[in-house]
Structure 1
Amino acid sequence: MKKVLLSALLLGSIASAQENLYDPAPPANSAFVRVLNAPTATLGGKAVTAEKGAASPYVVIPQGEFAAKLGTITSKLKVEAGNFYSVVANGNKLVLLTDQAAENRAKALLTIYNLSKTASVDLKTADGKTAVVSSVKSGESGSRAVNGITVDLSAFDGTKALGTLKGVKLERGNAYALVLTDAGLTLTPSTTKTK
């Protein structure tokens, strides 16, 4: 009898430990939303922060309309289940950008957000020879899945480099947000994380 009771207790504690290994799955009707370049923000009643020129972790938001506030700008935005989004302030309004999900685990996903006043930018290798993402208009984003590599990257306006990141280590299965503002280019790695 003691062996049966001991086995039951052991199995129960193993099951409990396994449940604690993983975060609970979000509800099926959820979208994933983050903010860019906003030191204070609220998404659907949840406080989030993103350093200047960077991206916050994604927040789980139920499908449909939700309230967003970045600094002093407030707006109602609408999301669809299963999608990833970034919210950014553009002038005195909030813009909701649809993010590409990192679906290919054999590649790294690069997304550049053009939050600068430059009308259109290209993301290239720092030497300007290899285009990665082309013609990203101001207030928009562009993405591309690339091989895992360590590389120097720059945002260009024609032949003029607007910002350079040296030794960017891109790992397969991860997503990276490159945010271009008038102050330069910043990188936020592993942007698939949620909170």
Structure 2
Amino acid sequence: MRIHAKYFLFFILMFGGGVASLAQAAGEGALYGPEAPAGSAFIRVFNGQINLPVKEASIAGKEMGEVDPITSSKYVFLDPGALEVDLDGKKHPVTLEKDSYYTLILLDGGVVKLVKDEAFDNRRKALVSFYNLTNVDSLDLKTSNEKTAILESVSQLNTKNRQVNAVKISVAAFEGDQKLAEAAPMNLERGKVFSLFACGDKSSPKLVWVESQVSSQI
């Protein structure tokens, strides 16, 4: 009986460990979702309208859902080519290249612009992307204490990028020497992309951080 008990205990431990491993793998699959196929294109929508939500955004059958004012959807991945982004029933044609990332920006008055983002794969740095969606011709991004310039001369409706060390940082947007707006402090983490959108007009601009993420939709 003692021998049988040993074998029974061994069986339980081995079988139980296998079940736990399978459950863990299934959980990880659910958490991370499917990986994008090689050669995919990636696109997200940023709603730069100050007061109006985008109630429904989609592209090629992939839903990006509702996008509140001055917020972003996640990136969705899809086959590259000529496609249409549907924003509340209005079609916006885009051409997407493989292995590329894009942000479709919607501004007050229905102005739409497609911006090509920087692809990033550096596990030792963070990437800061700064978008000037204001009515100011050129903005600089500096630390809030004005001691360090991060990105300079970002023209209207364009973006610039910079790889930085992981750090908790406070930044502000400047027009020349004039501080226009200050962003909430952000913990920049290695291997991640942090987008900072400057929105609104010069009299009352807003700075909004978005941690870039990819949707798990197939």
Between the aligned partners of 2:133 and 2:88, the Cα distance in structure 1 is: 16
* Number of equivalenced pairs: 192
Match of 1:66 in 2: 83
- 1:79 maps to 2:96: yes
> 1:100–1:89: structure 2 CA closer, same or farther, 3 Å change rule?
same
> 1:70–1:115: structure 2 CA closer, same or farther, 3 Å change rule?
farther
Give the TM-score normalised by the residue count of structure 1: 0.84
- 1:133 maps to 2:147: no
- The offset of 1:8, in angstroms, is 9.2
Match of 1:44 in 2: 60
Query: Which sits farther off after the overlay, 70-79 or 140-149?
Result: 70-79
Give the TM-score normalised by the residue count of structure 2: 0.76
- The offset of 1:56, in angstroms, is 1.5
- Given the alignment, which residue of 183, 186, 194 partners 2:208? 186
Match of 1:26 in 2: 36
Q: Which amino acid aligns with 2:60?
A: G
Instruction: Map Cα deviations across residues 55-86 of structure 1 (whole Å, 9 max, x no partner).
Output: 22111121101111334642110111111110
Between the aligned partners of 2:96 and 2:166, the Cα distance in structure 1 is: 31
RMSD (Å), alpha carbons: 2.6
- The offset of 1:145, in angstroms, is 0.7
Between the aligned partners of 2:131 and 2:90, the Cα distance in structure 1 is: 20
- The offset of 1:14, in angstroms, is 4.4
Q: Which amino acid aligns with 1:37?
A: N
SS state of the match for residue 21, structure 1? helix
Between the aligned partners of 1:29 and 1:151, the Cα distance in structure 2 is: 34
Q: Which stretches in structure 1 are left out of the alignment for 5+ residues?
A: none
Query: Which sits farther off after the overlay, 147-156 or 15-24?
Result: 15-24
Instruction: Indicate conservation of the 8 Å contact 1:53/1:180, yes or no.
Output: no
Instruction: Map Cα deviations across residues 155-186 of structure 1 (whole Å, 9 max, x no partner).
Output: 11112222212422111111111111114111
Task: Tell me which protein shows more helix as a share of its residues.
Answer: 2
Between the aligned partners of 2:214 and 2:21, the Cα distance in structure 1 is: 27
SS state of the match for residue 18, structure 1? helix
Instruction: Map Cα deviations across residues 105-142 of structure 1 (whole Å, 9 max, x no partner).
Output: 11111111111111111111012221111111111111
SS state of the match for residue 25, structure 2? helix
Between the aligned partners of 2:98 and 2:128, the Cα distance in structure 1 is: 22
> 1:152–1:9: structure 2 CA closer, same or farther, 3 Å change rule?
closer
Match of 1:103 in 2: 121
